[in-house]
């Protein structure tokens, strides 16, 4: 494992026995973390080969799933939830490492995450391991991801925010059927957008229907950006405990 310059300094201090050197708080935290990591193991080597054939994420799957279950059970998010992807940088050798040229760190493990907009608290998440065998035939990957990430919070009148990878008309309809609204950007080349939405219009225009309002914003850095809003006419949060 490659050590950062600070970690390397701490290692040298420890190897030389220079315990009288005054360490910063950050260095002490790193030392404590590394000491704990020496005794932590999330995997059983005896059954690893068999489990990995079934689940690529098997080495930490049990711990991750318990963490997600606790996140869902112990936290009630606000009215707005956002769904997006995040690349956790690593160059470890595994079958689901992703390369994304647009990211600051090009290589890493990609996670789908749902977070509370107000507190930034992660309420659900899952690693991207390649083709999802549970996805329904013909269903877009973005639609499937969003519906899975927000499934514990549907039917409560919440709003979901997404970017143009996830946003679609079908997703807006599916969420509205479960008393959930959607706000997201849409790529102007998406086939489902009607021709009138793609027409050149003033700085800000809105087209509405009984289900969806579509807005287009023009500007120096927002040329051709569309906003799709799937509205639910009785937005409210159920009172009481739970989601």
pLDDT, average across residues 7-22: 56
pLDDT of residue 45: 77
Q: When comparing pLDDT for 223 and 64, which is higher?
A: 64
- Of 111, 121, 171, 180, the C-alpha closest to 146 is 171
Residue 96 to residue 178: CA distance in whole angstroms: 33
Residues 83-96 have pLDDT tens digits of 999 988 887 788 88
CA 51 to chain centre: 25
Residues 174-220 have pLDDT tens digits of 999 999 999 888 877 777 777 766 666 554 444 444 445 555 544 44
Sequence length of the chain is: 243
pLDDT of residue 134: 79
**CATH match for 75-230 among 3.30.420, 1.10.150, 2.60.40, 3.30.200:** 3.30.420
Q: Quick one: tokens of 200?
A: 């050149």
Question: Which residues, in sequence order, are bridge partners of residue 152?
Answer: none
- Maximum CA extent, the chain: 73
pLDDT, average across residues 92-112: 84
pLDDT of residue 204: 46
- Residue 40: pLDDT band (50, 70, 90) is confident
pLDDT of residue 227: 54
Q: Is the pLDDT of residue 8 over 90?
A: no
Q: Over pLDDT 70: what percentage of the chain?
A: 71
Residues 144-185 have pLDDT tens digits of 999 999 999 999 999 999 998 898 888 988 999 999 999 888
| Beta strand pairing call for 212-217 and 204-208 | antiparallel
* Burial bucket for residue 198 (CB in 10 Å: 0-12, 13-18, 19+): middle
pTM: 0.68
Residue 94 to residue 14: CA distance in whole angstroms: 32
pLDDT of residue 161: 93
**Residues sharing a CB contact under 8 Å with residue 103, sequence separation 6 or more, in sequence order:** 87
| For the chain, domain boundaries | 5-37, 75-230
pLDDT of residue 131: 82
Q: What is the mean pLDDT of the chain?
A: 76
């Amino acid at each position: 494992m490659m050590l950062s310059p600070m970690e390397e300094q701490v290692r040298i201090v420890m190897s030389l026995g220079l315990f009288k050197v005054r360490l910063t708080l950050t260095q002490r935290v790193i030392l404590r973390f590394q000491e704990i990591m020496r005794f932590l193991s999330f995997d059983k080597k005896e059954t690893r080969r068999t489990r990995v054939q079934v689940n690529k994420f098997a080495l930490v799957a049990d711990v991750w799933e318990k963490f997600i279950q606790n996140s869902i059970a112990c936290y009630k998010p606000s009215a707005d939830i956002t769904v997006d992807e995040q690349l956790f940088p690593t160059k470890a050798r595994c079958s689901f490492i992703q390369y994304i040229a647009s990211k600051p760190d090009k290589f890493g493990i990609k996670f789908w995450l749902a977070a509370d907009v107000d507190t930034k608290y992660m309420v659900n998440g899952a690693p991207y391991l390649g083709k999802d065998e549970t996805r329904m035939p013909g269903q877009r990957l973005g639609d499937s991801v969003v519906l899975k990430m927000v499934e514990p919070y549907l039917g409560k009148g919440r709003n979901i925010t997404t970017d143009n990878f996830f946003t679609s008309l079908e997703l807006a309809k599916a969420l509205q059927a479960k008393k959930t609204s959607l706000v997201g950007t849409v790529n102007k080349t998406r086939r489902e957008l009607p021709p009138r939405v793609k027409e050149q219009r003033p700085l800000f225009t809105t087209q509405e229907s009984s289900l969806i309002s579509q807005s287009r914003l023009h500007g120096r850095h927002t040329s051709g950006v569309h906003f799709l809003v799937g509205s639910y006419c009785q937005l409210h949060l159920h009172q009481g405990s739970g989601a």
